[in-house]
Amino acid sequence: MKGISSVNFAGKKVLVRVDFNVPVDENKKITDDTRIQEAMPTIKKLMSDGASIILMAHFGRPKKGGFEPELSLKPVVDYLSELLNQKVAFTQSLDFNDIKELADNLKQGEVMMIENIRFYPEETKGDVELAKKLASLGDCYVNDAFGAAHREHSSTATIAQFFPNDKYFGLLMEHEIINLTKLMNAPTKPFTAIIGGSKISSKIDVIKNLLPLVDNLIIGGGMSYTFAKANGKNIGKSICEDDKIQVALDLQEEAKKQNVNLYLPVDILAGDAFSNDCNIKYCPEVNIPDELEGMDAGEKTRELFGKVILDSKTILWNGPVGVFEFENFAGGTNSIAKYIAEATDKGAFAAVGGGDSVSAIKKSGFADKISYISTGGGAMLEYLEGKTLPGIKAILD
Ligand code: ADP
Ligand code: MG
């Protein structure tokens, strides 16, 4: 592991790629600063070493090629200045002469930020020239942007080649890699994966890659109806990907071959519309009337899944098992969270990842019981699919 903990960066100019792609409201006020907070340990460590820090980050999805006022990192810079209690140097200029001047004037312990890196259209192409210009600003490179680790961009991957002996994982990135490695390389058995969410299509590769590793696979949420339909059940108006019926059958077959116990919902809370205040009907079996759609796991399903979870020593959860955004259909997802918390109390190692899953676990109130909550939605999923993440590879190469 090429981490920063045992290195002293005193007097160095350190380029740090962070994930500051935070949500903002219409007044550009940051509504959730989690991503900024998570980069603080790395920034503070470098500051206390006496390094000068040059932050690189993207914000939103610029399309015009060049500066777009509404996607400027200025609000983030102001916020960070407050957090650090010192001014973060910044220019909205994209001209490298201006940026270099700022970088050259940085003193030890000072921080600057480059404007939204995706204002340069070359960034997302992984362009070498842009990477070289960025690299010319500093002496070392630290990647702490796990949320962007699955992107082969100039500032997340290409840049690393200019620092063959001075490239490192930031503390957040290191934490993610250690936990993902633990999960996928040496899981204590029994290992249970709970995979939910709306679409099977977005999780096929994850399931395929997990089958050789897990003892139990729990499938819940919207994607379970594609399995149910494949198994000849009535699913009413429930969400279903008809073109993935064969995939569902193949996955079931594969699970059997690999001796994985597969668990699907056995009872359902259905609704007559996709809304929180629709009329709710309990279906004691997966046999949903034509005019209704499956919205959440029923009580028997919760107990069935719970029993498996409580018997597990390693647990991976990605994907809510119901439409948890609607309070009336959050019960199934919350019960998963509760059972996982109980399992970790008994010594299990539990990992939760995925944008919606992380927001569900936070809402449930059990987040502090989870051994490891991944900060990277897409990046974690690609890791679980068995892919090599360019942001990780670039540091290791
Ligand atoms: P993650 O972001 O954690 O990877 P996904 O994006 O795959 O999770 O899935 C989350 C979405 O799945 C949520 O918006 C949730 O409402 C939806 N979902 C779960 N169960 C159902 C269901 N029965 N019908 C429709 N959507 C569902
Ligand atoms: Mg999602």
Tens digits of residue pLDDT in 149-198: 999 999 999 999 999 999 999 999 999 999 999 999 989 999 999 999 99
Average of per-residue pLDDT across 295-310 = 98
Residues involved in catalysis: 35, 199, 355, 378
59 alpha carbon – ligand 2 mean position (Å): 19
Atom 17, ligand 1: which residue's CA is nearest?
Answer: 198
pLDDT (0 to 100) of residue 250: 98
27-73 residue pLDDT tens? 999 999 999 999 999 999 999 999 999 999 999 999 999 999 999 99
Which ligand 1 atom is nearest residue 323's CA? 16
330 alpha carbon – ligand 1 mean position (Å): 11
Find, among 171, 176, 179, the residue nearest to 37 by Cα.
171
Atom 4, ligand 1: which residue's CA is nearest?
Answer: 354
Residue 1 has pLDDT above 80, yes or no: no
Average of per-residue pLDDT across 274-300 = 98
374 alpha carbon – ligand 2 mean position (Å): 13
Which ligand 1 atom is nearest residue 220's CA? 20
Establish whether residue 239 lines the binding site of ligand 1, counting it when its CB lies within 6 angstroms of any ligand atom.
yes
Q: CA angle 284-215-195, nearest 5°? A: 55
Establish whether residue 318 lines the binding site of ligand 1, counting it when its CB lies within 6 angstroms of any ligand atom.
yes
As a whole-number percent, the residues of the chain with pLDDT over 90 amount to: 98
98-108 residue pLDDT tens? 999 999 999 99
Residue 377 binned pLDDT confidence (cut-offs 50, 70, 90): confident
Find, among 47, 56, 50, 58, the residue nearest to 16 by Cα.
56
Q: What is the pTM of this model?
A: 0.93
278 alpha carbon – ligand 1 mean position (Å): 18
Average of per-residue pLDDT across 266-276 = 98
Which ligand 1 atom is nearest residue 197's CA? 9
Average of per-residue pLDDT across 117-140 = 98
Task: Please state, as a whole number, how many other Cβ atoms lie within 10 Å of the Cβ of residue 298.
Answer: 23
pLDDT (0 to 100) of residue 230: 98
Residue 376 has pLDDT above 90, yes or no: no
Average of per-residue pLDDT across 284-310 = 98
